[in-house]
Structure 1
Amino acid sequence: NELAALYSHCYAYFHGHEFGGTNPAMLKALGYGCAILALDTPFNQEMLQNGKHGWYFEKNPESLKEIVEKAEAEPEKMNEFRLIARSGLTQKYNWDYVTEQYLEVFFSLVKN
């Protein structure tokens, strides 16, 4: 419950993971309706739909400082990210979509 409260009431969720694919922690943050500030990686770009659901920072102190200042200066945009966060899940990270993607792969393999 405490973790859920932190996600639900935070101004922004910082995501600093730089390796891997779909990250469960970021999925959870989207599910709780967080505005997300993420390290700029191909995986995070994909999860946040190239900036639709959050902003990115580079792996250096100056970039992190800039993204914090930007987030503080644009509360309306941060609120917009919070309002649409869950749609980032429902469009791509649901069982119907995942199943369709698997079926496409299986059918393409059968054709070959």
Structure 2
Amino acid sequence: MPAADPRCPCGLPQLYAECCGRFHDSRQTAPTAELLMRSRYSAFAVADPAYLLATWHPDTRPKRLRLDDGQEWTGLDILGGTGGGLLQNEGTVEFRAHYRFRGHDDTLHENSRFVREAGQWFYVSAG
């Protein structure tokens, strides 16, 4: 996380350490599908592939994940979702992630599916 801007990349108004940073350093696990999705976006932004793999469901997780140094994540818009709450075990989150790759701005639009197992949310797949 750049020292010049300690705000969380996920777009919530908290500082990184008290927002997604608490999930990245294992102080807490994300309590909802949306917070897991936001923390995964932030993991891309701060280049934390270990967190991405740890929160990827074992049935769909790749063996390794290489992040591209030329990609800068610049913003996140949550567009909607279903389920994924504190008392649910499945959910989806639709989002638009903004990024810059080799000087060109672009977006990734996805409706991700999440499941909670043994109290922990996992990313399953894109839709």
* TM interval, short-chain normalised: 0.3 to 0.5
Flag the structure with more relative contact order, 1 or 2, with Cα contacts below 8 A and sequence separation at least 6. Answer: 1
Pick the structure with more helix per residue. 1
Q: Find the structure with the greater CA-based Rg.
A: 1
Q: Which has the higher strand share?
A: 2
